[in-house]
Amino acid sequence: MKKKIGVLPGDGIGPEVVAEAIKVLNAVAEKYGHTFTYSYGDVGAIAIDKTGEPLPDETLDICEQSDAFLFGAIGHPKYDNDPKAKVRPEQGLLKLRKSLGLYANIRPVTAYDSLLHMSPLKTEKIKGVDIVVYRELTGGIYFGEKGRTEDGAYDHCTYSNYEIDRIAHLAFQSAQNRRKHVTLVDKANVLETSRLWRERVTEIAKEYPEVKLDAMFVDNAAMQMIQNPKQFDVILTENMFGDIISDEASVIGGSLGLLPSASVGDKTAMFEPIHGSYPQATGQNIANPLATILSAAMMLDHLGLIDEAIEVRQAVNASLRNGMVTSDLAKEQSYGTDRVGDFIVNCISDGEESCAQSNIQAGLSTII
Ligand SMILES: NC(=O)C1=CN([C@@H]2O[C@H](COP(=O)(O)OP(=O)(O)OC[C@H]3O[C@@H](n4cnc5c(N)ncnc54)[C@H](O)[C@@H]3O)[C@@H](O)[C@H]2O)C=CC1
Ligand SMILES: CC(C)CC(=O)C(=O)O
Ligand SMILES: [Mg+2]
């Protein structure tokens, strides 16, 4: 199979973790006889440095022409420390999502058996956790009008029926293939947009009678995620709440460096770790590449390469079971970003027994 894959490494640790995911995709291509052609583009601070724009037109063209694309991370302290900067790396990512209509960000959260000891949460509370967050990605407060007044500032939050309906359908369809339970996370006691979410989602739920819907205020949901995460199956929520609650949920898995995501819409799709550019780790070969490698596995699912995606997840499981992990997941011995990538590549290429026998816990092929 021939596929055109866009690659946007971005800033900070982005290039390092993306390099490992590309090594893994190459190993898959070689083993299964596929041809993946890669087109690289700049986004974020590196793009601003080179062109003055956080998302140059050439980068957007690359994404539009790809079957799917991989994204690392954006962000640099020189912008984080300058609240008055006119052009910001984040604008590149937001524009990318909006321009390509990537309205649903799908974030699976898995408690791997081999990592239960890494979480500060009690093992009996998290063993078996398998949640998928459907986060709305192109609306809400991140995209509303924003600005300064004489003595303050504002960020508007708006949602249309259409924006809510289309992601709600995806969440219910996912739940149909899972444990048939959707939790809508909102703040409907306070926000008018959240009251609209409740109204629309309650209506849409009638089309999926076998799926149970309940709703939870986001402040309670943040607590429940720690207290009793096993109650969740599919979480459906707006842009900002989904951003926050999924970073929180990464504590269940043991590290933010472990959580992948798919950002899908009507055309091409983007695959991105949920973490940011982790500037403190840039160039040190310590960043965990697994979130990006698992994002590449979600990309393989999306391209219809299901066996290949399973093989990547088996190799990731093998690296976790064998303690071939970066320092964020290590109790004692830890390995570099590139060594973890090499291990996964070797697993795929050599089909080591340890890989073949590993359980597929991140069973993401049921998600998209
Ligand atoms: N999707 C994106 O590109 C995102 C970009 N950002 C940007 O990233 C920059 C840094 O933001 P932060 O709030 O520090 O978030 P961050 O996600 O970059 O890092 C937060 C913490 O998570 C851990 N972490 C993150 N990725 C890791 C990895 N691969 N391996 C091991 N540990 C990892 C580290 O302990 C780190 O201090 C900012 O400029 C921010 O705007 C933040 C979130 C998402
Ligand atoms: C620019 C931000 C919205 C990025 C982020 O935190 C995310 O998408 O998770
Ligand atoms: Mg985030």
**Ligand 2 atom 2 nearest Cα:** 90
Residues paired with 36 in a beta bridge: 3
- Tell me: the pLDDT tens digits for 166-178? 999 999 999 999 9
Q: How far apart are CA 294 and CA 285, in angstroms?
A: 18
Q: 248 with 164, same domain?
A: yes
State which H helix or E strand residue 224 sits in: helix 218-227
**Ligand 2 atom 8 nearest Cα:** 243
Structural domain ending residue among the three candidates 253, 274, 307: 253
Q: Is residue 60 part of a domain?
A: yes
CATH of the domain at 63: 3.40.718.10
CA nearest to 140, candidates 185, 183, 87, 84:
185
ipTM of the complex: 0.99
Q: Is residue 47 part of a domain?
A: yes
Q: How far apart are CA 57 and CA 364, in angstroms?
A: 33
- Tell me: the pLDDT tens digits for 36-83? 999 999 999 999 999 999 999 999 999 999 999 999 999 999 999 998
135 annotated to bind ligand: yes
Nearest-ligand number for the alpha carbon of 135: 2
Q: How far apart are CA 316 and CA 10, in angstroms?
A: 23
Q: Which atom of ligand 2 is nearest to the CA of 275?
A: 9
**Number of structural domains found in the chain:** 2
Domain that holds residue 187: 120-253
The pLDDT of residue 359 is above 90: no
Q: Which atom of ligand 2 is nearest to the CA of 246?
A: 9
364 SS3 class: helix
